[in-house]
């Protein structure tokens, strides 16, 4: 099965060409855009971990190491398409339009963090594993019924493929030929459980076979591979050729969340090695150096301006006024039924507010 589903690559770990199919499209502009987006998300992510350590936000879910998977795939989506992220996919959602402030607000325990910008179809992060695959299938199906050419992309981890919802999502998408891209980030672990304990199959891509859909396995740390192969899947979906299951093989360097200690269940030296060998940002840097489009000054300035952008977002997040308790009550239904209305009144009364 590993032979049937090889790990597709466009540039290798040393930043050298492996597949030149898309050479003409891999411009300096695109390369720099991808580099910028990956660096932006990495700096954001590190800030998130720091803010949690300082007690300025709650539990945070880091994605460092998975930037290429998230950004390459998100960039392959178009205006009006749908995105269904998990709790770990802020690099994807910021690429698709979420503001950094909104993302920080989410981790500050604010409901506002679930609201996408006007015109962006980004669902709130899925917290229960695999539940979102069916929503992506449903929205994609709706677009098909409405006769548009819009597609949906849905993110999920390797652990998610064990849930019933994963299989139901793929099966429905297949039966109804829904224009959806199932984007799996195989980062090797579901909290502490390594993929070998999660499933006996060697790849996730092969699970597509059972549902008679396209299955693609790719190097998830090669942003070009992710971008172009996801784009192909999206195009296929738009043309009515059905769903695709993409397995993007990557790695999370750090903890599952800031509440987790990875040294309990794996040797963190592996992460250190990977930082040097397969890091997605470093790989792009190597590529840019090989292609003579690397500019030290440009990189430094980029770093500075991104840092400033992130600091500004933190400030905005921290200056957002505390929410009013009426937010607990006022959005459960379109109109408050009497039990909620009377609980709301009683609560205000108990505080001496009414």
Partner 1 sequence: MTTAVDTKKLTMVQAVTDGMRVMMKEHENVIVLGEDVGQNGGVFRATDGLVSEFGEKRVIDTPLAESGIIGTSIGLAMNGFKPIAEMQFLGFIYPAFNQIMTHASRIRARTLGHFTVPMVIRAPFGAGVRAPEIHSDSVEALFTGMPGMKVVVPSNPYDAKGMLISAIEDPDPVLFLEPMRCYRSTKMDVPEGKYNVPLGKAARLQEGSDVSVFAYGAMIDVVTKAAKSAEEKGIKCDVIDLRTLYPLDKDMIAESVQKTGRAVIVHEAPGTGGLGETIMSLINDTSFLYMKAPVERVTGFDTPVPMFALEDHYLPSADRVVQAIEKVTQF
Ligand X SMILES: Cc1ncc(C[n+]2csc(CCOP(=O)(O)OP(=O)(O)O)c2C)c(N)n1
- Interface residues toward ligand X, by CB under 6 A: 88, 127-129, 157-160, 187, 189-191, 256
A 10 A CB-CB count for 229 gives 24
Told to check if 108 binds partner 1 by CB under 8 A, we report yes
In whole angstroms, the minimum distance from the beta carbon of 191 to partner 1 comes to 5
DSSP string, 244-289: EEEEEE----S-SSTT--GGGTS-THHHHHHHHHT-HHHHHHHHHH
If contact means CB under 5 to 8 A according to the sort of partner, which of ligand X, partner 1, none does residue 322 touch? partner 1
46 is catalytic: no
Residues in the chain: 354
What's the min distance (Å) between Cβ of 156 and ligand X?
Answer: 6
Report how far residue 226's alpha carbon sits from residue 215's, in angstroms, rounded to the nearest whole number: 14
Nearest to 178 by CA among 142, 146, 210: 142
Kindly tell me which of 198 and 250 has the beta carbon lying closer to partner 1: 198
Measured from the CB atom, the residue of 125 and 179 that comes closer to partner 1 is 125
Only one of the segments 1-9, 172-180, 309-317, 341-349 lies at the binding site for partner 1 (rule: CB under 8 A); that segment is 341-349
- Residues 221 to 280: which contact partner 1 by CB under 8 A? 259-260, 264-265
Is residue 53 at the binding interface for partner 1, with CB under 8 A as the rule?
no
Provide the 3-class DSSP secondary structure of residue 210.
helix
- Tell how strand 82-84 and strand 152-157 pair up: parallel
Q: Which does 334 bind (CB under 5 to 8 A by kind): partner 1, ligand X, none?
A: none
Q: Which residues contact 146 (CB under 8 A, 6 or more apart)?
A: none
Candidate segments 16-24, 88-96, 205-213, 339-347, binder of partner 1 by CB under 8 A = 339-347
Report what 187 binds from partner 1, ligand X, none; CB cut-off 5-8 Å by kind. ligand X
Report the C-alpha gap between 285 and 301 in whole angstroms.
Answer: 15
For ligand X, the closer CB: 88 or 217: 88
Q: Does residue 98 carry a catalytic annotation?
A: no
Count of residues that interact with partner 1, criterion CB under 8 A: 42
Q: Which of 15, 65, 159, 220 binds partner 1 (CB under 8 A)?
A: 159
Q: From CA 344, how far away is CA 350, in angstroms rounded?
A: 10
Q: Which residues of 272-291 are buried (b: 16+ CB within 10 A; e: fewer)?
A: eebeeebbbbebbbbbbeee
Choose among ligand X, partner 1, none what residue 58 binds, the Cβ cut-off being 5 to 8 Å by kind: partner 1
Kindly name the residue from 40, 135, 256, 283 that is annotated as catalytic: 256
CA distance 186 to 16: 24
Identified catalytic residue from 110, 252, 283, 286 = 252
Which residues 6+ apart lie within 8 Å of 316 measured at CB? 101
- Using CA atoms, how far apart are residues 314 and 340, in angstroms rounded to an integer? 34
199 binds, among partner 1, ligand X, none (CB under 5 to 8 A by kind): partner 1
- Which of 127, 272 has the CB closer to ligand X? 127
Interaction pattern, residues 297-326, with partner 1; x per rule: CB under 8 A: -------------------------xx-x-
User: Which range in 65-73, 136-144, 291-299, 329-337 contacts partner 1 by CB under 8 A?
Assistant: 329-337
- Extract the tokens encoding 265: 């269940």
Contact 289, 15 (CB under 8 A): yes
* Nearest Cα residue to 90 out of 56, 111, 67: 67
- Token look-up 């996730």 returns 204
Whether residue 35 lies in the annotated active site? no
Q: Looking at 5-13, 22-30, 190-198, 243-251, which segment touches partner 1 (CB under 8 A)?
A: 190-198
> Are 165 and 134 within 8 A, CB to CB?
yes
Binding site for partner 1 (CB under 8 A): 58-59, 87, 108-111, 113, 127-129, 159-160, 162-165, 190-193, 197-199, 259-260, 264-265, 322-323, 325, 327-329, 332, 337, 339-340, 343-344, 347, 350
The catalytic residues are: 252, 256, 265
């Amino acid at each position: 099965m590993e032979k049937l589903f090889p790990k597709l690559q466009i540039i290798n770990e040393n930043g050298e060409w492996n597949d030149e199919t898309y050479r003409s499209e891999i411009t300096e502009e695109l390369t720099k855009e991808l580099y910028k987006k990956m660096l932006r998300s990495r700096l954001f992510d590190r800030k998130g971990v720091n803010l949690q350590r300082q007690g300025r936000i709650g539990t945070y879910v880091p994605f460092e190491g998975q930037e290429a998977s998230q950004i390459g795939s998100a960039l392959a989506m178009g205006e009006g398409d749908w995105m269904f992220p998990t709790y770990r996919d802020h690099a994807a959602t910021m690429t698709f339009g979420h503001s950094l402030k909104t993302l920080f607000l989410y981790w500050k325990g604010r409901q506002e963090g679930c609201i996408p910008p006007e015109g962006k179809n980004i669902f709130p992060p899925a917290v229960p594993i695999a539940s979102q695959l069916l929503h992506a299938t449903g929205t994609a199906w709706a677009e098909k019924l409405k006769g548009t050419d819009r597609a949906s992309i849905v993110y999920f981890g390797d652990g998610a493929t064990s849930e019933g919802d994963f299989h139901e999502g793929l099966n429905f998408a297949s039966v109804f030929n829904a224009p959806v891209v199932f984007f799996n980030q195989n980062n090797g672990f579901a909290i502490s459980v390594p993929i070998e304990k999660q499933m006996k199959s060697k790849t996730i891509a092969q699970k597509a076979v059972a549902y008679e859909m396209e299955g693609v396995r790719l190097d998830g740390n090669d942003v070009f591979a992710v971008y172009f192969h996801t784009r192909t899947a999206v195009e296929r979906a738009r043309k009515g050729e059905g769903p695709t299951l993409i397995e993007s093989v990557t790695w999370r360097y750090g903890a599952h969340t800031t509440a987790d200690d990875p040294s309990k269940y794996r040797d963190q030296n592996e992460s250190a090695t990977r930082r040097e060998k397969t890091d997605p940002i470093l790989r792009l840097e190597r590529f840019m150096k090989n292609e003579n489009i690397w500019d030290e000054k440009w990189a430094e300035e980029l770093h500075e301006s991104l840092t400033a952008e992130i600091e500004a977002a933190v400030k905005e997040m921290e200056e957002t006024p505390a929410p009013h308790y009426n937010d607990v009550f006022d959005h459960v239904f379109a109109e408050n039924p009497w039990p909620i209305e009377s609980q709301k009144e009683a609560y205000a009364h108990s505080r001496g507010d009414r």
